[in-house]
Amino acid sequence: MSYLTSKMVTIMVKERTFVMIKPDAVQRGLVGKVIQRFEDKGIKIVAIKMVSVKRELAEQHYGIHKGKPFFEPTVNYITSSPVVAMVLEGIGAIEMVRNMMGKTDPQKADMGTIRGDFGQSIGRNIVHGSDGPDTAKFEINLWFKPEEISNFTRIDEEWLTE
């Protein structure tokens, strides 16, 4: 989908991203509030499940950080309680979701963002979202089988973009 303005062409790309609602949000009963923010924005959920994360999956997910001081504590944290894994879809979904989440450190995240409103420390920052297209593809394929992802059009999609 694209539209033309008088001086430039903007291409609007529908994309998918991976989001994980982390154990602190699950334990604090914030899952619905986090999901509601994405849906209110017009981002479509095309896959969702609650997962008790096994160590192997956590190590694969955070594999790029292996050897760093925070790797073990992060793996232990993610495996300590269920998470909610989702695939979200929308125009510019990766950047939009990242902006909605706010900075990784909730102390530095703007109020109005998920982390700014609900998080208190970097080690318990409520939510994870893919940081780019390659990461999104990797994480979606790691957490979901193709048949677990729905392809459908929401009735309001035509009203969200020009």
CA–CA distance, 26 with 33 (Å, rounded to integer): 11
The residue type at 100: M
Q: Which of 128, 129, 130, 143 is catalytic?
A: 128
Q: With 0-12 CB in 10 A as exposed, 13-18 as middle and 19+ as buried, what is 29?
A: exposed
Q: Phi and psi dihedrals of 101, rounded to 5?
A: -70, -40
CA distances from 80 to 22, 37, 63, 75, 122 (A): 10, 25, 18, 9, 17
Q: For this structure, is 65 an active site residue?
A: no
Strands 9-11, 83-91: pairing kind: unpaired
Per residue in 75-101, is it b (16+ CB within 10 Å) or e — as a string?
Answer: bebbbeebbbbbbbbbbebbebbbebb
Active site members: 128
